[in-house]
Amino acid sequence: MSGKAVGSVLKLFISKSGTSKRFDRESLTLDKDGVTEDKFYGKNTERSVLIASMSSYDLIKTYGIEMPFGYLGENILMDYNPYSLDVGTRLKIGDTILEISQHCTICNHLAVLDVKIPTLLKNDRGIFAKVISGGDIKTDEKVYIV
């Protein structure tokens, strides 16, 4: 890959039907309909991949709240904060190319852990992306802006 990496993938997650629990994965397979094993696969391609930054977890921790990784509902947790990137910006991770489609809104379920979380993460929960070019993403892979 030419260009400079902006960050790395720290953790990967999927959701399964019938539970709100997030499941760690060493790799994810993505295609035009999203994350292949995820319960949201094929439901809304504009919201098929949720990307969160470690900065969201760090922010919550500064308020004395311990929030487990995956709590934000993300599929990809990275050490780069992409929240200020414009809709339409493309990220390359592993074999995949993702395009930012919208910023993630705050859901009421985030208040289950602590009622302050929705307010604290108002603009820092994550971003949704759609899959432009499918492939595999693994933990520790570099993230590039293309």
Q: How far is CA 134 from CA 18, 25, 87, in A?
A: 26, 17, 19
Closest CA to 51 of 87, 76, 70: 76
Q: Are 71 and 20 in contact (CB under 8 A)?
A: no
Residue 1 in domain: no
- What is the reported pTM? 0.94
Residue 112, domain member (yes or no): yes
Residue with tokens 């809709």: 87
Q: In total, how many domains does the chain have?
A: 1
CA 122 to chain centroid: 16
Phi then psi for 58, rounded to 5 degrees? -65, -40
Residue 2 domain-assigned (yes or no): no
pLDDT tops 60 at residue 1: no
91 and 53 in contact (C-beta within 8 Å)?
Answer: no
Residue numbers of the domain that contains 68? 7-145
Tell me if 134 is assigned to some domain: yes
On whether residue 115 sits in a domain, the answer given is yes
Query: What is the per-residue pLDDT across 26-78, written as a single tens digit (0 to 9) for each?
Result: 999 999 999 999 999 999 999 999 999 999 999 999 999 999 999 999 999 99
In a domain, 62, yes or no: yes
Q: Please check whether residue 51 lies inside any domain of the structure.
A: yes
Q: How far is the CA of 91 from the CAs of 5, 27, 44, 52, in angstroms? A: 10, 17, 19, 13
CATH of residue 15's domain is 2.40.33.20
Question: 133 pLDDT exceeds 90?
Answer: yes
Alpha-carbon span 115 to 4, nearest angstrom: 39
